[in-house]
Amino acid sequence: VQLVESGGDSIQSGGSVRLSCAASSDTNDMICMGWFRQIPGKQHEGVATIDNKGHTAYAPSVSGRFAISRDNAKRTLYLQMRNLKPEDTAMYYCAPLYSCDNEFRNSGSWGRGTQVTISL
């Protein structure tokens, strides 16, 4: 499956952005999907996961500000981000995961990502 991220933006601190991730094939069979982010020189950091029953989990740094959702009919994963901070600045990626076990193990390949830049 190919995943294409979109929706990244450059905004001021406190603002909101909604990211989308479009899949090339049916997402109903994807047990778990997730969002990651990466800054230059660092490894991918797991941000949020959602299983095929709609159960969600978040990294502590984004809990209460980010919301992950999925629409299998549209083959699309979303990440609504609110109250954004400069430390949220990163390239954001979506990925299918082996499981929603908090280990954020990507079971596919990385896409191009979408850049989110937050300024003071």
Task: Give the start-end residues of each E strand in the chain.
Answer: 3-6, 10-12, 17-23, 32-38, 45-51, 56-58, 66-71, 76-81, 90-97, 114-119
**What confidence tens digit (pLDDT) does each residue in 59-97 have?**
999 999 999 999 999 999 999 999 999 999 999 999 999
Picking from 85, 107, 94, 75, the residue whose alpha carbon sits closest to that of residue 7 is: 94
Which stretches within the chain are classed as H helix?
none
- φ and ψ of 43, to 5 deg: -80, 165
What are the structure tokens assigned to 85, written together? Answer: 């901070």
**What confidence tens digit (pLDDT) does each residue in 12-61 have?**
999 999 999 999 988 888 899 999 999 999 999 999 999 999 999 999 99
**What confidence tens digit (pLDDT) does each residue in 54-67 have?**
999 999 999 999 99
